[in-house]
Amino acid sequence: MKIPKRIRVVFASLLVGSTAGLAGTAGAAGDANVSPAAVSLEASILRGPIPDKQVVLTFDDACISHFTFVGPLLKKYGFGGTFFVCEMGSQKDQKPEDYMSWPQIRQLHDMGFEIGSHTRNHAVVTVTPPNKLVEELAYIENKCAEFGIPRPVSFAYPCYSTSGPAITVLRERGYLWARTGGSPVYDPLKVHPLLIPCASTARNSPQSLKNLIAQAKDGKVLVLLFHGVPDVPHPWVSFEPSDLEACMQVLKETGCHVMAMRDLDRFVDSKKAMVQLQSKVPTTTCQYGAERREFSLGENRAFVILPTKHKADGTKPWIWFAPSFSVKNPGEDHAWMFTQLLESGFAIAGINVGESYGSPDGRAAYSQLYDHLVQKYGLSRKACLLPQSRGGLMLYNWAAENPEKVQCIGGIYTVGDLTSFPGLRTACAPYHLSEAELGAHLAEHNPIERLAPLAKERVPILHLHGDRDTLVPLEKNSGELVKRYQAMGGPGELIVIPGKGHQVCDEFFKSQRLVDFFLSQGFPEVRSTK
Ligand SMILES: [Zn+2]
């Protein structure tokens, strides 16, 4: 076992056991880089030297393959690991059989693995108020108690989003370790134990693993994250069973020590580390590696994610995303797209107006958000709209009444016709109208009937829509909208995605065409005049 010199010094000093001894030994070692402050930091955080090749294995989302495949595989290799569980399977768009039951989770515990919390509903902490987060955590803690599983001490942030208030909640509830995303290795002397980074599924492969293992040295621990093996409901994070087996083989052959997250306790005094590294806790929340600010406007909660790079010319373009009533909106699905846009100088904003279906109440709240962002944040007077699905009803109805405030519209399977989705019977309630009354006033409330003001302003529109969409059919929504828009002379384009429905897939969420559309049309000074 190779112990870095810097740490050898500290633990030699600890044996001496006095402050004088610490300074004296460090001096005797002749290492000018070791200041007494650094020595005391290490001494208070670390329980002992961290050998090279320490690896923490983590698995998220309580996928059924964790029980059927991963647990037995790890057992075969004698490896430890942490399974971060939630109840995604009880959500309405999910199949329970794709996820572990609590008795199965209990069996993983019986096999010696750690069960950590991933919240009950995969709650993204940046959009979950602290009191709600407490409920989400308490649910998993109570379930563990009911099934004879120890109360979790480890937590994984859904969608990697972290926030200062969430860290406070986790700490108060006794969590010692919490994992987010980011870099592959955890340096206990620099990183707060409730902000542990990891190498995510996408970066792991049997080939790349050796490079990652090489970074597990000098007191740093490699943390690996996997989702389902395979992950049927989330193919974009799925991992092949044969690849995981190959990864385990690499870990074994390279002599790694593979453990659960809770086993970090052997090396790190988490509570002392939290005190020492408190300054690392953000006072604001963070999403897509950018600062996310949240605020109330009337009864509604709104957010703005500030660009990671600012435009040299001082312009402040922004993407207005809708809908925003779910933790997924925007969430991990949008990371690929939004990270690029944030780096290109765009802010991303939205407001949760509940299920408005584009009602006048919802539009009024949208105008409040617009005014707030333009006046308080100095964002561009022309917003780039990104209506996803029912967000089309919300953003197009606002846009029809504010065409001069719209820079461009880039949509993902956007609803254009209220009668197609959700249908007048469902839509009428937030309009405070009967079904018949709403039907009689579609000219004032249905996006496809309200395109003329946008065409007059020549607002560029691009929609992506799948031809297998049964929830929001292509022809009646994007198809009809773009056709009518073009007939009015509006610059509209529709990209039909063959074979795809109302789903999360790269064709929609990693569309370079859509990103390029915002990059080319999103800045006031460069709108195409064709
Ligand atoms: Zn997750």
pLDDT value at position 28? 35
Per-residue pLDDT tens digits for 114-141: 999 999 999 988 878 788 999 999 999 9
> Would you tell me which CATH number, out of the four given (3.40.50.1820, 3.30.1860.10, 3.40.50.300, 1.10.3720.10), belongs to the domain 288-521?
3.40.50.1820
Say what percent of the chain tops pLDDT 70. Answer: 90
Question: Got the DSSP string for 243-266?
Answer: HHHHHHHHHHHTT-EEE-GGGGGG
DSSP string for residues in 29-73: HT-TT--HHHHHHHHHHBSS---SSEEEEEEETTBHHIIIIIHHH
Q: Point out which residues pair with 384 in neighbouring strands.
A: 319, 408
Residues counted in the chain: 530
Summarised one tens digit per residue, pLDDT across range 403-461 is 999 999 999 999 999 999 999 999 999 999 999 999 999 999 999 999 999 999 999 99
The pLDDT score that the predictor gives to residue 367 is 97
Q: Take residue 94 and report the two structure tokens written for it.
A: 């999910």
Is residue 357 predicted with pLDDT exceeding 60? yes
User: How far apart, in whole angstroms, are the C-alpha atoms of residue 41 and residue 45?
Assistant: 6
> CA-CA distance, 141 to 496, in Å (whole number)?
46
Rounded-to-integer distance, Cα 154 and Cα 405, Å: 46
Under a CB-based contact definition with an 8 Å cutoff, are residues 315 and 380 in contact?
A: yes
Q: Judge whether 303 and 324 are in contact, CB under 8 Å.
A: yes
Distance (Å) from CA 282 to ligand 1 centroid = 22
Alpha carbon of 401 to ligand 1 centroid (Å)? 39
**Helical ranges in 294-359 per DSSP H:** 335-343
Of residues 6 and 344, more confidence is placed in 344
pLDDT per position as a tens digit, 210-245: 999 999 999 999 999 999 999 988 888 889 999 999
Closest by CA to 14, choosing from 278, 269, 217, 274, is 269
Residue 10: pLDDT band with limits 50, 70, 90:
very low
More confident residue, 3 or 254: 254
pTM: 0.57
pLDDT (tens digit, 9 = 90+) per residue, 282-325? Answer: 767 778 888 888 888 888 889 999 998 888 888 899 999 999 87
Count other C-beta atoms under 10 Å from residue 128's C-beta.
22
The rounded Å distance from CA 485 to ligand 1 centre is 40
Q: Taking the alpha carbons of 263, 268, 271, 277 in that order, is the dihedral positive or negative? A: negative
Give, in order, the Cα–Cα distances in Å from 430 to each of 290, 368, 393, 423. Answer: 34, 18, 12, 13
Map tokens 């995981």 to a residue.
Answer: 244
Ligand 1 centroid vs 226 CA: distance in angstroms? 10
- Is the pLDDT at 15 greater than 60? The verdict is no
Tell me how far the alpha carbon of residue 433 lies from the centroid of ligand 1, in angstroms. Answer: 40
Q: For residue 524, how far is its CA from the centre of ligand 1 (angstroms)?
A: 37
Residue 345: what pLDDT? 95
Q: What percent of the chain has pLDDT over 90?
A: 72
Q: What is the mean pLDDT of residues 11-18?
A: 36
28, amino acid identity:
A
Residue 225 Cα to ligand 1 middle (Å): 10
Q: Return the domain boundaries, the chain.
A: 1-49, 51-280, 288-521
CA 166/CA 287 separation, integer angstroms: 13
> So what's the architecture of 51-280 in CATH?
Alpha-Beta Barrel (3.20)
Enumerate residues with CB within 5 Å of ligand 1 (an ion).
60-61, 158
Ligand 1 centre distance from Cα of residue 340 (Å) = 22
Distance from Cα 231 to the centre of ligand 1, integer Å: 11
Residue with tokens 């406007």: 297
Query: What is the distance in A from the centroid of ligand 1 to the CA of 111?
Result: 22
